[in-house]
Amino acid sequence: MAEDARPTTTPKTPVANNHQDPTMAEAKASPIKRIMLPFTILSFLLSFPILFCVVWLLYIREGNCEHLLPLEKLHVGIVFGLIVLFVISNGVLVFLRSRFLMLGLILVMVPLLVILTIGLALIGAYTIDGRLIPGSPVWFSMMVNNDSNWNAIESCIYNTRTCQDLAFQWSYDFSTNKLSPIESGCCIPPSICDMKYVNATCWEKKPIVYEVSNGEYDIDCDLWQNDATKLCYDCYACRKGFISTLRQKWYRLGVFLVVVTILLIASHMLLFITTMWERHA
């Protein structure tokens, strides 16, 4: 008797579902997006001080005879670099970060590192070759102490009528706490000379020679002249006052560049890390 043929069925092996649940993927990505949002906003907000600095450099008049020093190329270079940095920083945030992550990071890091280097130079971080870097403290000292440069600067300070305007003040206003570095260095004799005030352009010298704390004679006491066209323009104190005025401006600019670029570097690096985390989560 023939046995009934029964169809045999092979048990189906359950196929593993390699597709991740979209709801679960979104749940994992949402905390990352919440982390990325503050960094994106921070990077965007940090670009506005850069824009304000560009406007300041473009429209604020160069004062204190600064134009007599070869700073024009540095001035234009910083303005151009900040504009490029502003455009690239925001362009990376809007266009490149989602598509070309690594390219966007490289593009934004190059101008950031250049501006950071310029900022470090302006605050005097490079002491060895500082004399070769325009705008650095050592460079200012070298340029101003050059006699040919100083002759032009001296005439410019006189033409700005800095000391002439100061002459209208009373004697009790001649306090170094109230005067600018140029006014205290060029318009009045050094305090160590201990001269007696007569009027704005006349100070009575004492018959003794005054010494500074290290025992050396203060030459500026002899260089002072009771002449409105001379005063202390030839004094070393006048040069120091001019150098101090320039250093203050460019040092503050250097500090601004260093702080802003470091914050932008940190912000863009954190954005890069969180974006990579989001892609591979």
- Residues 60-77 pLDDT 10s: 756 678 889 988 888 889
CA distances 164 to 67, 202, 220, 264, Å, are 21, 13, 20, 46
Q: How confident is the model at residue 222 (pLDDT cuts 50, 70, 90)?
A: confident
Domain layout of the chain by residue ranges: 27-137+243-280, 147-241
Whether 275 has a pLDDT exceeding 50, the answer reads yes
pLDDT, residue 267, reads 87
pTM over 0.85: no
Given a contact cutoff of 8 angstroms between Cβ atoms, the answer to whether 221 and 205 are in contact is: yes
Contact status, residue 121 vs residue 81, Cβ threshold 8 Å: no
Helical spans, DSSP H, in 60-161: 72-91, 101-122, 137-144, 147-159
Encode pLDDT of 116-158 as tens digits: 999 998 998 766 555 577 888 888 999 999 999 999 999 999 9
For residue 79, the one-letter residue type is V
| Cβ atoms of 95 and 244 closer than 8 Å | no
From residue 116, give the alpha-carbon distance in Å to each of 145, 252, 257.
Answer: 28, 14, 6
For position 89, what pLDDT does the model report?
A: 84
Enumerate helices (H) and strands (E) in the chain, giving the number of each.
9, 2
Per residue in 21-43, pLDDT tens?
Answer: 445 444 454 666 666 677 778 77
Exposed e or buried b per residue across 241-276, where buried means at least 16 C-beta atoms within 10 angstroms of its C-beta: bbbbbbbebbbebbebbbebbeebeebbebbbebbe
Enumerate residues 6+ apart whose C-beta is below 8 A from 207. Answer: none
**Which tops the pLDDT comparison, 149 or 99?**
149
Which residue stretches of 189-235 are H helix?
A: 220-223
What is the structure's pLDDT at 280?
67
